[in-house]
Amino acid sequence: MGRSVGRSRLTSTGQLAIAAFIVALTLIAPRLGSFGRDVDAPIAAPLWGWLAVVGSEAESYDSLSSMTMTADAVVIGHIADLRSGRRFGSETDGWVYYPQATLRIERILAGSLPTAHTQEVVLEFATVQPPDIDALHRRLVGMGGMYFLRNKGVSAAMAGQPVERQESESGFYRVVCSKGWLLPEGNTVVMPLAWEHSPLEYELSGRTLAEVAAAVQAIAK
Amino acid sequence: MKLISQILALVFVAGLSTPPALATNYGSHDCISIPDSPYSSCISIGNNYNHQWHYTNPRSDIYNSFETIVESEYDDRTQLVVNETYFENADVNVFDSDYGDFNVWGWVWCPNTSWTSGSHPNKACRPQYLRFNLFYASAFNTAFERRYMACHEFGHTLGLRHTDNTSSCMKADVATSDALRTHDIDIINDVYWPY
């Protein structure tokens, strides 16, 4: 009898412990969304702090298919060179700096490029403080990956810029959005410029660059 | 069965006692743990309930929308005291210019010359710089779009993050609302007016 009561008390204690644990989880869980799990932790640290600008994007895509179908071209390539580029803004309003990379194209997976741009394109990145070009050069040159490209002439037209501006911008490219550059890392791909988690990140999670390339080609067909 | 009932009852009570604010879309961005991040434009929170702003050389239509929104959405609907001030006194310095095409029409950042305190997710910064990129001229066409952008970016200066809720101006990418939703207001009041 005594043993039975003891078991009962133990069971009650265990029940209470389980209940307390669940209650604790319930209390903590809502906060994990913003504090415990860092929802804005960089998805790929190596370049994020150098080139990503946390801001409201004119173009943003949440699926591989939408990003593929909208890009002017999706290419596999590597950065062959990097140099100081243009800057826009003013002394009063501040500047945005555009380091310019020569992106050597190895394969066009989707879309198309003008004949003059099928071998290499001028790909512009952006920084909100003067860039350390030597440091960026050391980090970026030789880096291969998949690039979802937007011709800046096309972008200027989308932005409502006059024809002259569209023409002057047409020799430059950017990635379509912060998720538009994929780098291989281990057995998966990462988005080095992305600063916010998105459905696209989960869609690509665990897929190799070759697998994503095949998916892009299938989407483009 | 009794155990399950007890647990459900406790969970229900616990759910009621969970503060609604702070649970979502608030807090600074984590730049501190990123190695070699000299250029990152991380979002910070404000330093107190008095959130003053200054707009340098504004384009008139954007300025008007900005002034309207900070007054109607932030000064009137929250416990914040939001007013215009001199550049030197501002918590938020606002600029607009053609900053070129890098796919960003608005951003907030904390220059490395600014005062900061605390750590992520409660890193405060003063002054913060808010910039509107006039390269994307078509994005500023209508008064609604301009109010959305003002509401959205000013929210970032207080630590509001993006949400999927279409009734909030903190929804990213698409201008579905030019107003804060009650949840955003609760967050601001809980954080900046804990009296």
Q: How far is A167 from chain B (nearest CA, A)?
A: 14
CB B154 within 8 A of CB B63: no
From chain A, the residues in CB contact with B27 under 8 A are 34-35, 40
Name residue A172's beta-bridge partners.
Answer: A122
Q: How far is A12 from chain B (nearest CA, A)?
A: 9
From chain B, the residues in CB contact with A45 under 8 A are 34-35
For B102, the closest of A26, A35, A126 (CB atoms) is A126
Q: Is the peptide bond before B121 cis (omega within 30 degrees of 0)?
A: yes
CA dist A35 to A13, A29, A203, B33, B121, Å? 31, 10, 24, 14, 7
The encoded tokens of residue B39 equal 């250029």
- What is the C-alpha to C-alpha distance for residues B133 and B139, in angstroms, rounded to an integer? 9
pLDDT of residue A106: 98
- What is the C-alpha to C-alpha distance for residues A97 and B64, in angstroms, rounded to an integer? 28
pLDDT beyond 70 at A16? no
pLDDT beyond 70 at A127? yes
For A45-101, the pLDDT digits (tens) are: 446 566 777 788 999 999 999 999 999 999 999 999 999 999 999 999 999 999 999
pLDDT of residue A25: 39
pLDDT of residue B31: 54
- Hey, are the CB atoms on A23 and B14 less than 8 Å from each other? yes
pLDDT of residue A198: 85
Contacts of B152 (CB under 8 A, 6+ apart): A56, B106, B169, B170, B172
Q: How far is B172 from chain A (nearest CA, A)?
A: 7
- What is the C-alpha to C-alpha distance for residues B166 and A164, in angstroms, rounded to an integer? 37
Dmax (CA) of chain A = 94
- B113 confidence band (pLDDT: 50, 70, 90): confident
**Global pTM value:** 0.82
- Per DSSP, the three-state class of A103 is strand
For A144-177, the pLDDT digits (tens) are: 999 999 999 999 999 999 999 999 999 999 999 9
Whether ipTM > 0.90 holds is no
